[in-house]
Structure 1
Amino acid sequence: IESLDDDQINIYRDVYDMLIRPVMEHDRPQMVGISVVQQKQLIPTFTFCKMIKDAFPETHITLGGNIITRIRDMLPGMENLWELFDSAIVYEGESAYLKLTEAVKKGDDFSALPNLIYKDGKGVHINKEVFAESLAELPPPDFDGLPLEKYFVPQLILPYLATRGCYWGRCTFCDHFQGYVEGFRTKQVDHIVEEIRFLKEKYGTRFFHFTDESYPPALFQKLSRHLIDDKLDIAWTTHMRFEESLLEEQVWKDVAESGCKYLHFGYESGNQRVLKLMDKATKLDAIETNLRMSSEAGIWNHLMGFFGFPGETSEEADDSKAFVEKNSAYIHSLGFMTFVLGKYSPIAFEPEKYGLTYYKNPEW
């Protein structure tokens, strides 16, 4: 908390003065929403919250995003943080945010609003109503009002989400699924193509990042064929699992022809035993085949992995490096990290199964 007022170290105070304060002074908004999708965004988020509250105490500040959802059980007890904001939207936020905005505007009561944690003069309240969006009823994303020309990219790239949740949803290290209250859902492929065409025409760009947790292989193939048949002429990227259902060369040729330029693959490990512990259900030979076919089709392959999964030996970690070296002709970039225990991951619920012991830092 002390860092929020530190002008010497906290660079986000300067960011606020340069970018946010002028907008606040000009627009005087009744409500401000901040989405937190990564842990590293917490310091800038609370810095902005404090500086907004100091200058505009009547402005309602609400937080949202996957990280806020994943700390929802701890949030009500963080009394010092509630001095910085007024409410938090958990799980999916489209309808919940709209209803909160209307309530703030009208001065209505918050107690019946969905997906909401809020503070009033009586304390912090956790609303019981939980709401999940119907993907068939949601409109296409709206980027109006955003300074799209200021993003550090040579061409505008729009994000697009066709699914909610992860179709696999079994990786023992992952707790991203906590961002949703219902299981995996997807839009129909015709609906997806229609919205992409709409966004392409409205915003004058052919570049799209499909930001799904992991693109389902069946939808991956169907969408590629539809993009080709409809001559949409876009360039796109998305996130993928390695799949044994994607071992035909024609699949990858279609994907490339449809405009796919770059794929983020969840590689995780090059050791079969470790992959089994992770419940990836991925075979190393299928990984090699996917990489080769994708690369030969002209797609850039980016691998994401990590070291230090509970039980992984140093020799097994070396297998991950050896696999990358062996297949380097088909791997174009890498992103490796070390294992981080997610609070709601399957591992966290069964630590003894993975030989884990929790350590409570006495300084926290």
Structure 2
Amino acid sequence: DWAFGAIGTQDKAKHLATLYLEDISDFIVECIDPNFGFSRYAERLGRSANSFDELYEALHQTPTYIDSILIDILKNSIEEVQPKLFLISVPFPGNLYAAFRSAQFVKQNYPHIKISMGGGFPNTELRSLSDKRVFEFFDYITLDDGELPIELLYNAIVKGGEFNLYKRTFLLENEEVTYRNDALRSDYKQADVGTPDYSDLLLDSYISVIEIVNPMHRMWSDGRWNKLTMAHGCYWGKCTFCDISLDYIKVYEPVAAKQIVDRIEDLVEKTGQNGFHFVDEAAPPALMREVALEILRRKITVTWWTNIRFEKSFTGDLCLLLKASGCIAVSGGLEVASDRLLKLIDKGVTVEQVAKVTRNFTEAGIMVHAYLMYG
């Protein structure tokens, strides 16, 4: 019990099985592939964002055994779909090597297919891209919201022509890395982007693991959550350490509560799963209230969690309402437990306020995870 606390027998078994998988992973790392990992691969290479040299060198080594598995799956998909445009989303450093290896294979074997990268990693780490070698693998790299940039890429590839407009897109022109943002069209509104489509994912084939028995930490790896957002960007947008100049933070645009719950019902019907993670930068308290009321009004059963700021708006009554609608956890950035430093970074909260809010959530039965900076 000292290790597991009050968790049940099934969770104990799942955690022990996870430790066994980690032992297998360690064996693979030592004997087969030093870059192996179950949830991330060659992450160390991806973290060297200040230089492309090490990753470039690795990509010119003989493909590893794990690479060959990836390439076999990719080859079958390419042959089946026969795309004109191949899009690769890279959210984290642990996805970067596989993205480049996949692009390399397609470039070498299907040179007529255009390849583009997007996602969280290029959005934050490649905004000052200047290394031409990247474009030996990719034709385009798009930043921030992807709907309009990809639509314009599609038009350029399918319709052709010498003159094309692009939105937040890196490409190679006259052997030089060029950033194009000349399309006058505005990005699609959040109300118009639609509901995520998971129909091509083998949702019943993913395993759930418990890497850490902490009930909040395990939510990142145990089970599967449908992803939605209540609002694009951050309604606060002042924290000095944050990327507040970038569109994904700066452009705040909430979605109507009824439309959010429409999307919830749509995803439950399509996936058969009623767990939701709202991946907002910071979900607005007033909108969370409206979403909770709409969930209760429709009498649907869901489980959900999200990211917040520790606003004083989270009263005891609001936390009870959120709990009643299915909210089981929140995570938020406290950053530092010092009022002096909180003021300096323009966080907009005090330690006392955070303590009251976390107590309100805890008393309502909602788990709280706080992000802190040390050093």
Q: TM-score band (shorter)?
A: 0.7 to 0.9
Q: Hey, what does 1:259 align to over in structure 2?
A: 326
Matches within 5 A, 1:275-314: 275-308=342-375
Instruction: Name the aligned partner's letter for residue 21 of structure 1.
Output: K
* Paired residue type of 1:28: Q
**CA offsets, 1:94-152, max 9 Å, x none?**
13213322432343456213332223566444322263221222222222222323333
Cα distance in 2 for residues equivalent to 1:34 and 1:187 = 27
Give the 5 Å matches for 1:20-59: 20-59=74-113
Q: Percent identity?
A: 28
- 1:15 & 1:239 partners in 2: Cα distance? 36
Deviation (angstroms), 1:303? 1.9
* AA in 2 matched with 1:65: G
Match of 1:314 in 2: none
1:211-360 matches, within 5 Å, as 211-246=279-314, 248-308=315-375
TM superposition shift of 1:15: 4.9
CA distance in 2, matches of 1:260, 1:172: 30
Amino acid at match of 2:191: A
CA distance in 2, matches of 1:264, 1:169: 17
Q: Is the 8 A contact 2:233 2:249 kept in 1?
A: no
Question: What is the identity, as a one-letter code, of the residue corresponding to 2:336?
Answer: S
Counterparts of 1:280 and 1:221 in 2: how far apart (Å)?
Answer: 23
Quick check: 1:180 aligned with 2:248? yes
In 1, the alpha carbon distance for the partners of 2:329 and 2:162 equals: 47
Distance 1:116 1:21, change over 3 A: same
CA-CA distance at 1:156 after TM superposition: 4.4
**Which residue of the partner structure matches residue 193 of structure 2?**
138
In structure 2, relative to structure 1, the CA distance for the partners of 1:92 and 1:72 (3 Å cut) is same
Residue pair 1:36, 1:63 contacting (<8 A) in 2 also: yes
User: Aligned-pair distance for 1:243?
Assistant: 0.9
List alignment gaps of at least 5 residues for structure 2. 1-55, 209-221
Whether the 8 Å CA contact 1:224–1:258 is kept in 2: the answer is yes
Q: Report the AA paired with residue 241 of structure 2.
A: F
Q: Which residue of 2 aligns with 1:351?
A: none
**Aligned residue number for residue 23 of structure 2:** none
Aligned residue type for 2:146:
G
Q: Distance in 2 between matches of 1:56 and 1:118?
A: 19
Q: CA contact under 8 A between 2:304 and 2:328: conserved in structure 1?
A: yes
For structure 1, the 5+ residue unaligned runs are 309-364
Residues 1:85 and 2:138 are matched in the alignment: yes
> Contact 1:91–1:181 (CA<8 Å) still a contact in 2?
no
Which amino acid letter does the alignment assign opposite residue 5 of structure 1?
A: H
**Counterpart position of 1:337:** none
Residue from 59, 66, 71 that aligns with 1:17 = 71
State whether residues 132 and 181 of structure 1, in contact with CA within 8 Å, keep that contact through their aligned partners in structure 2. Answer: no
Q: Is the 8 Å Cα contact of residues 12 and 44 (structure 1) preserved in structure 2?
A: no
The one of 272, 275, 278 equivalent to 1:207 is 275
For the residues of structure 1 that align with 2:62 and 2:323, how far apart are their CA atoms? 49
From 124, 132, 137, the counterpart of 1:70: 124
Instruction: Find the residue that maps to 2:237 and give its secondary structure.
Output: coil
Q: Which residue of 1 aligns with 2:57?
A: 2
Alpha-carbon separation, structure 2, partners of 1:298 and 1:30:
50
Q: CA deviation at 1:167?
A: 1.0
1:182 Cα offset (Å): 5.8
Q: CA offsets per residue over residues 262-291 of structure 1, 9 Å max, x none? A: 211212111222222221111111111121
Q: Which amino acid aligns with 1:263?
A: V
Q: Please say if residues 210 and 237 of structure 1, whose CA atoms lie closer than 8 Å, have aligned partners that are also in contact.
A: yes
Q: 1:278 to 1:49 in 2, by over 3 A?
A: same
C-alpha spacing 1:132/1:195, structure 2 compared with 1 (3 Å): same
Other structure's SS at 1:265 match: strand
CA distance in 2 between counterparts of 1:193 and 1:264 reads: 21
Residues of 1 paired with 2:328 and 2:164: CA distance? 47
Deviation at 1:187, TM superposition (A): 1.0
Rounded Cα–Cα distance in structure 2 between residues aligned with 1:145 and 1:34: 15
Which of 164, 167, 185 aligns to 1:111? It is 164
Aligned length: 305
Separation of aligned partners in 2, 1:181 and 1:286? 24
State the distance in 1 between where 2:311 and 2:298 align.
Answer: 26
